[in-house]
Structure 1
Amino acid sequence: MKKLLSILTVFMFTVSTFAQLNLKSDAAHSRIQFTVTHLGINDITGNFDKADLTIKADEKNFVNSKLTFSADVNSINTHIEARDNHLKSADFFDAAKFPTMDFTSTSLTKTKKDQYTLKGNLTMHGVTKPVTLTLIYKGSTVNAMNKKTTYGYQVLGTLNRSEFNVGPNFPAPMISDLVSIKGDFELTAE
């Protein structure tokens, strides 16, 4: 009986180990892009060049997976240095005080093939709020350079910057309150 229990324990541990795949984003091929409307007439786009996505993927049922992502606020890049420095200042993100934006999933619901509603908590500028995003699985391939399977995921959504107290002295007619985000990530198993 002891031997049977021992075998069952090893089997259960082995099954649970292989049922979860820990995926980590490749920094060189991952970033979060944002778009705001300036003066009501023009879209301004920028990136957080340093962004990480981690997925603890449940291989049997992906909706049970857990996702986290983080962006380094100091990596903001709108291709205008003066604007980037202003966005890092206390007028907007206050990067010295709040150096990262962080997201942790609370639920994942499949909406159609390779697309999910992703709910979770976003912390930005010291404020944590629930947000709803879209997660799209873009596919996988074996990378010829490192021979590892690479997975592609995209995160899409919109946020109201006022809910996170970002740029409170800049009204919506100057800079839109609504911010579109798009995160593109390549991930490999750890």
Structure 2
Amino acid sequence: MKRVMLIAVLLIWPMVASADAFSDAAGRYRVLPSSRIHFSVAQMGGAAVAGEFKRFKGSFQLDGRDVSRSKVDFTLEPASVSAVDPRVEEFIRSEPVFNAAKYPVVTFRSTSVKRTGDNTASIDGRLTAKGVTRPTRFSVAFGGRSGGTLKFHVTGKMSRALFGMDVGAPVYSNVVVLDMMLVGARQ
């Protein structure tokens, strides 16, 4: 779930086919509220627990000459979780999971960006959730651009146990799968 923030980091990576197009995309962007941050946790013998986070903000600086110098900052509010069942939402906000009352934000700060293909990249960074900071990696695929906006499909996995959120294991998987569609607008 906290990796969702890392997904914002992936937004900084516009994988453009030509060097000229990549240079044209350089600049500072903010993550738009129309972006989507989805998570799922597999459950033994049942359907996965899934939902979205509705409140987040972020920005990224895309360096058109040297992508490795690009930066991503992202913040997510775990209290904004939305799931099919209100009991699941309350549980995710509770002390054994995010403890949203004590830790109202989850943050991600990039430490490196590496181009992995014409339209893909990996973003490494520091994810902080529930007072714990861990290195985290996301994969990013450029989804296109229109005017002053860029779209990225960001995916990643995180271990709940590393952040002290492993309540319910082994019935619920320790692995949280993040799938995000992030849209950034030029500032």
Task: Calculate the TM-score normalised by the size of structure 1.
Answer: 0.81
5+ residue gaps in structure 1? Answer: 1-17, 143-148
Q: Which residue of 2 is the match for residue 15 of structure 1?
A: none
Kept in 1: contact 2:143–2:153 (CA 8 A): yes
SS in 2 for 1:74: helix
SS in 1 for 2:87: helix
The C-alpha deviation readout for 1:70-96, integer Å capped at 9, x for no partner, is 211111111211210121111211000
Structure 1 CA distance, aligned partners of 2:106 and 2:84? 20
5+ residue gaps in structure 2? Answer: 1-23
Question: Could you tell me how far 1:53 is from its partner in structure 2?
Answer: 3.0
Kept in 2: contact 1:98–1:124 (CA 8 A): yes
Question: Could you tell me how far 1:52 is from its partner in structure 2?
Answer: 2.2
Kept in 1: contact 2:67–2:114 (CA 8 A): no
Kept in 2: contact 1:31–1:51 (CA 8 A): no
Question: Could you tell me how far 1:36 is from its partner in structure 2?
Answer: 0.3
Q: Which residue of 2 is the match for residue 25 of structure 1?
A: 31
Kept in 2: contact 1:153–1:184 (CA 8 A): yes
Kept in 2: contact 1:40–1:176 (CA 8 A): no
Q: Which residue of 1 is the match for residue 174 of structure 2?
A: 177
The C-alpha deviation readout for 1:143-186, integer Å capped at 9, x for no partner, is xxxxxx211012211011000001x33112x1110110122111
Runs of 4+ in structure 1 off by over 6 angstroms are: none
Name which of 108, 117, 122 aligns with 2:122.
117
Name which of 37, 55, 71 aligns with 2:76.
71
User: 1:119/1:40 Cα in 2 relative to 1: closer, same or farther (>3 Å)?
Assistant: farther
More relative contact order in 1 or in 2 (CA 8 Å, sep 6+)? 2
CA RMSD of aligned residues (A): 1.7
Q: How many residues of Structure 1 are paired with residues of Structure 2 in the alignment?
A: 164
Confirm or deny that 1:158 pairs with 2:157. yes
Matches within 5 A, 1:1-190: 21-27=27-33, 29-142=34-147, 149-166=148-165, 168-172=166-170, 174-190=171-187
Report sequence identity in percent: 24
Tell which structure's C-alpha radius of gyration is larger. Answer: 1
